[in-house]
Amino acid sequence: MFETLNSSLTIRNRTFRNRIFSSGHQTLLARGGLVTEAFIAYHAARARGGAGLIITEAASAHESAYFNEFVPSAFLDESIPGFRLLAETIHTHDCGLIGQLFHPGAEVAAILDDGSRPAAWAPSVHHQERYLVTARPMPLAMIRDVIEGFGNTAMRMVTAGLDGVEVLASHGYLPIQFCNPRVNHRIDDYGGNFENRLRFLNEMHDTIRDKVGDKPIVGLRISADDLEASGFGEKEVTEVLHALDAAGRFDYFNVTLGSSSTTEGAVHIVPPMSIDPAYVAPYAERIKRSTGRVILATGRFNRPHDAERAVAAGHVDMVGMTRAQICDPQMARKTFEQRPDDIRECIACNQACIGHYALGAPISCIQYPESGRELTYGKRKAATHSREVLVVGGGPAGLKVAAVAAERGHRVALYEKSNRLGGQVLLAQLLPERSEFGGIVTNLEREARAAGVDIKLGIEMTGERIRANNPDVVVIASGATPHIPDIETSDSAHIVTAWQVINDEVECGSRIVIADWRGDWVGLGLALKLIRAGHQVRLATVANCAGVNVQFYTRDPLIAEIDRLGVEFTHYARLAGADEGTAYFVHASGGHSLEFECDTLVLAYDHDSEMELFTSLEHFDTEVHVIGDALSPRTAEEAVLEGLKVGAKI
Q: What is the pLDDT of residues 534-570, one digit of tens each?
A: 999 999 999 999 999 999 999 999 999 999 999 999 9
Domains and CATH numbers, the chain: 9-376 (3.20.20.70), 383-482+609-649 (3.40.50.720), 488-605 (3.50.50.60)
Backbone angles phi, psi at 293, to 5 degrees: -85, 160
Query: What pLDDT score was predicted for residue 229?
Result: 87
User: How far is residue 335's CA from residue 338's CA, in Å, rounded to a whole number?
Assistant: 5
411-439 average pLDDT score: 96
**Spatial separation of the C-alpha atoms in residues 566 and 577, rounded to whole Å:** 25
CA distances 587 to 93, 512, 520, 540, Å, are: 58, 19, 20, 10
State the pLDDT confidence band at 622, using cuts at 50, 70 and 90: very high
Reported confidence tier of residue 66, pLDDT bands at 50, 70, 90 = confident
Report the alpha-carbon distance of residue 304 to residue 332 in Å, rounded. Answer: 8
Quote the Cα angle for 277-279-283, to 5°.
155
CA 40 to chain CA centroid, Å, is: 20
| 347-635-644-449 Cα dihedral, nearest 10 degrees | -60
Helix 80-92 and helix 37-48: axis angle, to 10°?
A: 20
Q: State the average pLDDT for the chain.
A: 97
Band (69; pLDDT cuts 50, 70, 90): confident
C-beta atoms surrounding 361 within 10 Å: 12
pLDDT band of residue 619 (cuts 50, 70, 90) is: confident
Distance CA(192)–CA(535), nearest Å, equals 52
User: Residue 338 above 90 pLDDT?
Assistant: yes
Average of pLDDT values for 173-193? 97
519 pLDDT more than 90: yes
Q: Say if CB 103 and CB 64 are below 8 A apart.
A: yes
Q: What percent of the chain has pLDDT over 90?
A: 96
E strand map for 216-261: 217-223, 252-256
CB atoms within 10 A of CB 243: 16
What per-residue confidence (pLDDT) applies to 117?
A: 87
Kindly report, residue by residue over 136-180, the tens digit of the pLDDT. 999 999 999 999 999 999 999 999 999 999 999 999 999 999 999
DSSP designation for 398: H
According to DSSP, residue 629 is labeled G
24: left (phi over 0), alpha (psi -120 to 50) or beta: beta
Report the pLDDT value the prediction gives residue 68, as an integer from 0 to 100: 83
pLDDT at 115: 85
**CA 71 – CA 606 distance, rounded (Å):** 37
Q: CA-to-CA distance for 147 and 200, rounded, in angstroms?
A: 8
pLDDT at 71 over 90: yes
Q: What is the mean pLDDT of residues 377-383?
A: 96
Q: How much is the average pLDDT of 420-437?
A: 96
Coil, strand or helix at 89: helix
pLDDT, residue 114, reads: 83
Name the residue among 23, 15, 6, 45 with its Cα closest to residue 320: 23
67 or 164, greater pLDDT: 164
Amino acid 616: pLDDT: 94
Reported as a single tens digit per residue, the pLDDT across 322-333 is: 999 999 999 999
pLDDT at 110 over 80: no
Q: What is the pLDDT of residue 384?
A: 95
How far apart are alpha carbons 205 and 249 in whole angstroms?
7
Element housing 210 (H / E): helix 194-212
Average pLDDT of the segment spanning 188-197: 98
486: exposed, middle or buried (Cβ count in 10 Å: 0-12, 13-18, 19+): exposed
Q: Is 108's pLDDT higher than 90? A: no
pLDDT tens by residue, 269-306: 999 999 999 999 999 999 999 998 999 999 999 999 99
- What are the backbone dihedrals phi and psi of residue 256, each rounded to the nearest 5 degrees, phi first? -140, -165
Under a CB-based contact definition with an 8 Å cutoff, are residues 422 and 428 in contact? Answer: no
Q: What is the mean pLDDT of residues 237-258?
A: 98
pLDDT for res 349: 96
**CA-CA-CA-CA dihedral for 471, 476, 477, 481, to nearest 10:** 140
> What does the pLDDT look like over 445-496, one tens digit per residue?
999 999 999 999 999 999 999 999 999 999 999 999 999 999 999 999 999 9
The closest of 339, 288, 280, 344 to 23, measured between CA atoms, is 280
